[in-house]
Structures are given as C-alpha cells and as structure tokens.
Amino acid sequence: MARILITSAIPYINGIKHLGNLVGSQLPADLFARYARARGHEVMFICATDEHGTPAELAAAKAGVPVEKYCAEMHAVQAELARGFRLSFDHFGRSSSQRNHRLTQHFAGKLAENGFIEERLEKQVYSIDDQRFLPDRYIEGTCPNCGYDRARGDQCENCTKQLDPTDLINPRSAISGSTRLEVRETKHLYLRQRALRDRIEAWIDSKTDWPVLTTSIAKKWLNDGDGLQDRGITRDLHWGVPVMKGDRPWPGMEGKVFYVWFDAPIEYIAATAEWADAHGRPDADWERWWRTDKGAHDVTYYQFMGKDNVPFHTLSFPATILGSGEPWKMVDYLKSFNYLNYDGGQFSTSQGRGVFMDQALSILPADYWRWWLLSHAPESSDSEFTWENFQASVNKDLADVLGNFVSRVTKFARAKFGETVPGGGDFGPLETALVADLGARVRDYAALMDALEVRKAAAELRAIWVAGNEYLQAAAPWAVVKQDPARAAAIIRLSLNLIRLYAVLSEPFIPDAAATMLAALGSDDRSWPEDAGAALRAIPPGQAFSVPENLFRKITDEERADWQTRFAGLRS
C-alpha cells in the first residue's frame, strides 16, 4: 500500500466555475484519487477555495456584503457543487483560515531568515478614479509580446508571457476602465527567486517523467528573456494575510497583505491541517503528509492544474519551500492540462458563455458530465466541447454500450431465472477467451490510470464495456436457453459478474452509476480485479439481484438544440 497525496489547483472564490475549470484540475484529480483508493492505497485528497485578493473584494462589493461574509457564502456554494459532481475531497478548505494565515507568515519569516526576502521600493500603478493601487491583474492593456489587447498586468493569458503592468501598451483599469493611471512609489517584499534559480532548475530537471506540457512551461519561464525574476509577495490591499513577523507587524509593511499567489499554494498544506482540526486529530496526523522529517518521506505527491497555473507551481511555490530550508514535501508529479474550449469559441466567466457547474447539474446528473469531460480531457492539446459531440458520447458510450448491457442482462436473467443468480452450467471457449481478453485489458487500463493518461484510460474502459456486449451477442443466451438452460445460466451468471466488474472499474469515472450497479447485484465487493477469472466468479449462484432503473437515458435532439441556445450567451 502506497501513501498518495493529491491536490488540485484551488478555485478562486468569486463565482461558480465552468466546465473548463472543472476538467482542468478538480475532476481529473478526483478520478485519480478514486482509482488510488480502489487499489488499496492510503490517499489524502485536498482542495480549498482561494479567497484573498482584489477580485474577492470587488465581488463582495458588487454583492453588497462584507468580504468575509461573501467568501463564506461562496465557499459553501462551491463545496455543495463539488459534492454534486461527486468530488471526493478528504477536505475542502479555505485560504482565509487561521491555519493558512499562520503558515504563510511562517514561510515568509523563514525566507527572510535565510536571506531570500528583500524590501524594495517599487513603482506601482495607482488609479486616480478608483482611488487605489491596482493589483497587476487589474490592469489591462495590449501585450508587447503578442499584441493581445486584453492582457493582464501579471501575465498575458494568450501567450502566457509573464508581465509587469508597466510593460502594457495603452493600460487601463480593469475595475473602471479608466485610463487615468499614474505610477507611485510603494515599498514591498520580494521573494528572491533568481537566487534560487539553480536549485529550482535542478529540481525540475530531476522530474523526467513529467508531461511535456508541464516541463515546457516551467523551462520557458526559467529561461525566456531575462529568465526567472524575483517576485513581489506583498500588496497594498486590506483583504488577505497580514504581513507579520511572528506576532508583530512587519516593520515598514503595516497595512499590507501577502500577495494571493504567495499564500494560495501554502493553503494545500494549511487545508490538510484544517482536515486534522476538523476531525480532532493532532498535528502529527497532517505533518506525516507534508513534513519529510515526520513521515512524509514515503508519500508520493501529485498535483493537478490547468496550464496557466503551472508557472506558480513549478517556480514560485517551489521557491517558497526550497527557500524556507525546512523539510517540506514537494510535488513528485505535476499533471497539467490544456484548455477546454466551448462550441466554437472559449468558455468565458466574464461573458457567462458556456456551461457552469450549477447549470450542468440542473439538466443532467454528474456522471454524464464526468464521463464526457474525462474522456475528452485536454491533455496533449486544447479540446472543444460541442453539444453534438456530448450528445453522441452520452448516447453511444453510456446509454448504448454500458447501460444497454446492464439492462439486457438483468431483465433477461429475471425473466428466465428469477431474481437470484442462476447456478449450473460450465464456462466454455467463449468464456475462456473473454477472461483472457479482460485480464489483459484490465492490466492495460490500470497502467494507463497509473500513468495519468486520462483519455486513453477512458478509451480502454469503454473497450472493456464493448467486450462484454460482444460476448453477450456471441453467446446469445436468449437462443441457447431454449435447448440448453444450464449453458444459458452460465452465460448469465458470468454476465451478472461482468456488471460488478464494470462497477468497480468504472467507479472513478462514473461513481453514481457504479453504486447503482453494485446495489442491483446486492454487492458491496469493490475489490480490484487482479485476477479476471476470479472476478467473474465473485457473485455466487443464489445471490439476489434486481433490475436497476435505466442507468443512462439518451439525450434527444430537441434537448440538445435547447441547451445549445440556452448556454450561448450571458448567464441570467
């Protein structure tokens, strides 16, 4: 049994996330967490809401509530949607927690002790009309690198180049649109990332099994232009982790907070401590996941995120940990994803374009979305959601292949043999061939899941479902039962066991359907099919079963057309 730590990029607090956000981090992380548990490993799966910074302040002001109340309410909304999508977090924390405040201040203190924090006077953009300093991401303009006219002051989302606000052409306030901006002096703390560059690069170079997408982005940020830059880690804001040294304000930093991108990754650790607090556990129980001097040396740590989050997780957060000089666990494997686009364009939170998590669950259960998103995960390149493709995938994969198999087998079994698994009859050449085929396919499926090849694993799982349908067609129990009832009983007994096998293998992708299949068989046996032959004998003759409600219904053309129109524009 291995010990596996899993974190997905923490979603920002200001609003409900769309399906592109979901498939880029939380959903594949959940897939892997469920699979790892199914294989008998000890898993800690952590996520949280990212609650600090200007966007939270502005969203709260728009809603007319204090920012603390807004964040608490939105955390509850996001937690409920996570449950709706069956995301199996061990804990869903909050970056505004006292645990994260203390840990963030602790890391800053250690970095300062080790010479990796420097106070600098910097020139920062001040909006006269907004009467506030503008965080980098709240300044928009034209990217000097690619010409994109909505680049942010911290990074161009089009070409991913790291920017400073003063780099932008024709800058404007993203809050008000005002161009009445001026540069004023203010003092901030900087993380001396350049001083840690060689250590960071050596660490990245040691990760030879990382996806090309992850490594290429990290290397680009390390080497492009002037290479890795020192990074400001404080901001002139009110909402955030106060800049403290121990239990006192940091001299010269009064009234400032830590930059949200400094404290947000630290929340992975803090959320695990929150998990311990929530369960009345001692600190040792979370430290064994994060401190290599307290048991985390044998933990394998996986991170999941969209490609836009890679630079901060391969450079800035590692710089924080390495610079602290303390024995914290660092990520072993970072799985990054490209973007999921929407029906000929892009998902857009600001324009309300696309399908958002609450809307998705209002029209179809979670399994429908989970299957399509994971089987079309944007791994090697960007992928696109279209309603036609979604309809076809649901109708063919879920309804015609898996759902139809379960329905045909259970209904035929009840009609011909009653409501218990039939005994009698022996397996023949067809069954022997199926066992051999499934044994190889299950091994291939497990290897792909181990390697986090999400789309390929989904394709292999579908092939396993197809193999059962092909077996049933070839064995034809509806014809055999007339001349050889015992032979038909053996076919149906194996087919009922196939349903259990499918439930176990499919659970990481479609957990609700898997639970329904197991319940119909009166089984709670979720043991992994290490031996296909034994797995297909797990449910014995005489065990009661039932015919489940239709596992998956088909999407009609009328529904598809309605949804395509409904989700083309702004959210109401």
Distance (Å, whole) CA 496 – CA 422: 10
Residue 380 token pair:
């090697």
Residue 188 token pair:
């901030």
Distance (Å, whole) CA 371 – CA 85: 11
Percent helix, strand, coil in the chain, to 5, is 50, 15, 35
What was the pLDDT predicted at 570?
Answer: 61
Residue 183 token pair:
């540069």
356: which DSSP letter? B
- Contacts of residue 517, defined as CB under 8 A and 6 or more positions apart, other chains included, come to 406, 499, 500, 502, 503, 506, 548, 551
Flag whether pLDDT at 456 surpasses 60: yes
What was the pLDDT predicted at 162?
Answer: 82
Flag whether pLDDT at 450 surpasses 70: yes
CB crowding 384-419: b at 16 or more within 10 Å, else e:
ebebeebbebbbebbbebbbbbbbbbbebbeeebee
Least reliable range by pLDDT among 107-121, 241-255, 380-394, 460-474? 241-255
What was the pLDDT predicted at 58?
Answer: 84
Amino acid at 438: L
What was the pLDDT predicted at 179?
Answer: 95
- What confidence tier does 11 reach under pLDDT thresholds 50, 70, 90? very high
What are the two backbone dihedrals, phi and then psi, of residue 228, each rounded to the nearest 5 degrees? -60, 130
Flag whether pLDDT at 453 surpasses 80: yes
- Contacts of residue 390, defined as CB under 8 A and 6 or more positions apart, other chains included, come to 372, 555, 560
Neighbours of 82 (CB within 10 A): 21
What was the pLDDT predicted at 544?
Answer: 97
Flag whether pLDDT at 571 surpasses 60: no
pLDDT, mean over the chain: 95
Residue 5 token pair:
């730590």
Residue 227 token pair:
């290479």
Q: Which of these, 367, 376, 386, lies nearest to 454 by C-alpha position?
A: 376
Least reliable range by pLDDT among 133-147, 417-431, 446-460? 133-147
What are the two backbone dihedrals, phi and then psi, of residue 187, each rounded to the nearest 5 degrees? -100, 135
Flag whether pLDDT at 63 surpasses 80: yes
Residue 354 token pair:
């696309």
Q: What is the pLDDT of residues 230-280, one digit of tens each?
A: 999 999 888 999 999 878 899 999 989 999 999 999 999 999 999 999 999
Flag whether pLDDT at 225 surpasses 80: no
Q: Which residue has the higher pLDDT, 203 or 343?
A: 203
Flag whether pLDDT at 572 surpasses 60: no
What was the pLDDT predicted at 154?
Answer: 86
> Among all chains, which residue has been given the structure tokens 């996330």?
17
Distance (Å, whole) CA 315 – CA 401: 45
- Contacts of residue 118, defined as CB under 8 A and 6 or more positions apart, other chains included, come to 189, 190, 192, 230
Distance (Å, whole) CA 64 – CA 127: 22
What are the two backbone dihedrals, phi and then psi, of residue 356, each rounded to the nearest 5 degrees? -100, 160
Distance (Å, whole) CA 82 – CA 89: 9
Report how far apart, in Å, the C-alpha atoms of 554 and of each of 84, 111, 372, 375, 394 are. 21, 57, 14, 18, 7
What was the pLDDT predicted at 352?
Answer: 76
β-partners of residue 191 are 117, 231
Return the percentage of the chain with pLDDT > 90, whole number: 86
Q: What is the pLDDT of residues 530-564, one digit of tens each?
A: 999 999 999 999 999 999 989 999 999 999 999 99
Q: Which residue has the higher pLDDT, 137 or 85?
A: 85
Flag whether pLDDT at 120 surpasses 90: yes
Distance (Å, whole) CA 94 – CA 48: 5
| Mean pLDDT, residues 19-32 | 97
Q: What is the pLDDT of residues 287-340, one digit of tens each?
A: 999 999 999 999 999 999 999 999 999 999 999 999 999 999 999 999 999 999
| Mean pLDDT, residues 449-453 | 98
Q: Kindly report the CA angle at 296 between 268 and 233, in degrees rounded to 5? A: 35
Least reliable range by pLDDT among 105-119, 137-151, 361-375? 137-151
Flag whether pLDDT at 436 surpasses 70: yes
Supply the pTM of this predicted model.
Answer: 0.92
What was the pLDDT predicted at 161?
Answer: 85
Q: What is the pLDDT of residues 464-501, one digit of tens each?
A: 999 999 999 999 999 999 999 999 999 999 999 999 99
| Mean pLDDT, residues 189-208 | 96
Flag whether pLDDT at 96 surpasses 90: yes
What was the pLDDT predicted at 401?
Answer: 98
What was the pLDDT predicted at 166?
Answer: 85
What was the pLDDT predicted at 492?
Answer: 97
What was the pLDDT predicted at 361?
Answer: 98
Amino acid at 510: I
Flag whether pLDDT at 458 surpasses 70: yes
What was the pLDDT predicted at 238?
Answer: 85
